[in-house]
Amino acid sequence: MPELVVTALLAPSRLTLKLLRAFMWSLVFSAALVAAAVYGCIALTHVLCWPRRGCCGRPRRTPPACLSDPTLGEHCFLTLRSSGLRLHYVSAGQGNGPLMLFLHGFPENWFSWRYQLREFQSRFHVVAVDLRGYGSSDAPRNVDCYTIDLLMADIQDVILGLGYSKCILVAHDWGALLAWNFSIYYPSLVERMAVVSAAPMSVYQDYSLHHMGQFFRSNYMFLFQLPWLPEKLLSMSDFQILKTTLTHHKRGIPHLTPNELEAFLYGFSQPGGLTGPLNYYRNLFRTFPLEPQELATPTLLLWGEKDPYFEQGLVGAISSRFVPGRLEAHILPGVGHWIPQSNPEEMHQYMWAFLQDLLD
């Protein structure tokens, strides 16, 4: 068929897609402006309530002692083959079994896996990375350095760079979003997955379009589409919005100590420490609309019944995309978003049972 005819036949579809994307971006930025107004009022209220903290975050010059806890493992760096970036990771149990790779979420770092590092190092080589842009890992400033494709290449480089051909991938929040994608595009590198509190991007997209309540739960995502302003608002009154996110009596991490809170704030308080993590969100809508994808990697999915950020209905939506018999899903009653830190014992029980046949 002549190229001109093919172009003419495809023109209506291409125009429709462009119009759809233009409409989507207009909605995203409208929501971003509304979110900016709301979070701006919240940040200003914090400044007025605690004027001595000022309008900026206090830089932490010394990392808290818990980040150097020797029981969690050895601190190492790996230069990635694809990008040349250096990623920081904590490793324990090398030689004890298969690689178990942990991917953290926002606003966290490798330290969010402290309970799991202690629990599984006796039977696995456990490795918790600081994803690019976080903690001691390299943090390029450009938004284009945080696309999903580049972040998946990082995971591939970590697995192969550590000398393995596959791993057990354990992931939460943003790390889980990356893990879902990675299991689709690099299935040979993932033997099993344990995913906590996050849905695949295509599932989240389709579910949100039919359940508007999910958009309200994820309102912060729209704020993070804007340049520089989110960094400013999150740092005001010495990072009070982040502090509230992590320590709120209902939505935060139960029993988080001041020292553990500082383990997360330390990296964000460094110059440019918030820009890399927020650039993950600034790439979220670039691939809209996404095609439905079949999920086949054997996966343990843990979800909090009281998760304030993601509706419970997403679990059913995820299940509908799975090859039968490949997903084991559990909804934890009365539990929120931060399962690896709030309910480590329950998580460990489910994981040991899920992985038992690999250890026999």
Give the separation between CA 165 and CA 189, rounded to whole angstroms: 6
In this structure, the dihedral spanned by the alpha carbons of residues 53, 58, 61 and 63, taken in order and rounded to 10 degrees, is: 90
SS3 assignment, position 267: helix
**Distance from the Cα of residue 139 to its chain's centroid:** 16
SS3 assignment, position 168: strand
Catalytic residue positions?
173, 281, 337
Strands 86-92 and 74-79: antiparallel
**Which pairs with CB-CB distance under 8 Å and at least 24 residues apart come from 288-294?**
288/21, 288/24, 288/205, 289/17, 289/20, 289/24, 289/205, 290/201, 290/202, 290/205, 291/202, 292/202, 292/206, 292/321, 293/184, 293/200, 293/202, 293/321, 294/321, 294/322, 294/323
